[in-house]
Chains A and B, each alone.
Chain A
Amino acid sequence: DSGVTQTPKHLITATGQRVTLRCSPRSGDLSVYWYQQSLDQGLQFLIQYYNGEERAKGNILERFSAQQFPDLHSELNLSSLELGDSALYFCASSVRGGGTYGYTFGSGTRLTVV
């Protein structure tokens, strides 16, 4: 157990639907990062939050949004889902910026859009 908890582990949904992925960071970590892993794109950075505020954005689609709550857990919302959104979504956490302290990854949520 890495200390980063992601729920659900698996999600199957239909095109056009909306889902929410949840991430609880490791105790004491203030930063949360979301990544998408797919066969064709590899591991892509989506977005970072630090202590409740958005810190950095990657190639995140406008249909996707995220937030970090006061208790530091984070949610990634995916809407108007398309077949191409099927992927493994990882959450990672770090104490602050991650470079010095490292990143801890959760086990991921596997999203299948049918």
Chain B
Amino acid sequence: AQSVTQLGSHVSVSEGALVLLRCNYSSSVPPYLFWYVQYPNQGLQLLLKYTSAATLVKGINGFEAEFKKSETSFHLTKPSAHMSDAAEYFCAVTGAGGTSYGKLTFGQGTILTVHP
């Protein structure tokens, strides 16, 4: 079984500040990890994904995430927040094999607010 915990349902930052959204996962098989962003009244857009290659993954819009197996974490960061980053962010996991293969399990989401 797999699960994802996103620490903090709401994160608020000032424009230009560091963005850090936390994600911890639990997986009985080597995980594939994803971050998605959802803007109001829109679908889910892939930001980045980890698929067992480089542990530091760079995504779109200046976001990146680092896979840390020892900490079972996959935190999302961006050095400088922009007003357009305000959205809800979801961390998700799927397994590399087994019965969970193919199914994405999502965290509860973190709403990012960016203040001017």
Interface size class of A (residues with CB under 8 A): 20 to 34
Which chain B residues in 60-116 approach chain A with CB under 8 Å? Answer: 90, 94-96, 99-109
Chain B positions within 8 Å of A, measured between CB atoms, are: 32, 34, 36, 42-46, 49, 51, 90, 94-96, 99-109
CA–CA, A103 to B93, complex, Å? 11
Q: How many A-B residue pairs have CB under 8 A?
A: 63
Q: Which residues of chain B have C-beta atoms less than 8 A from A98's C-beta?
A: 94, 102, 104
Q: Does A107 contact B (CB under 8 A)?
A: yes
CA–CA, A43 to B43, complex, Å? 12
> Is A106 in contact with B43, judged by CB distance below 8 angstroms?
yes
- Mostly, the A contact residues are strand
Q: Mark A21-59, 1 if CB is under 8 A from B, else 0.
A: 000000000010101000000110100101000011010
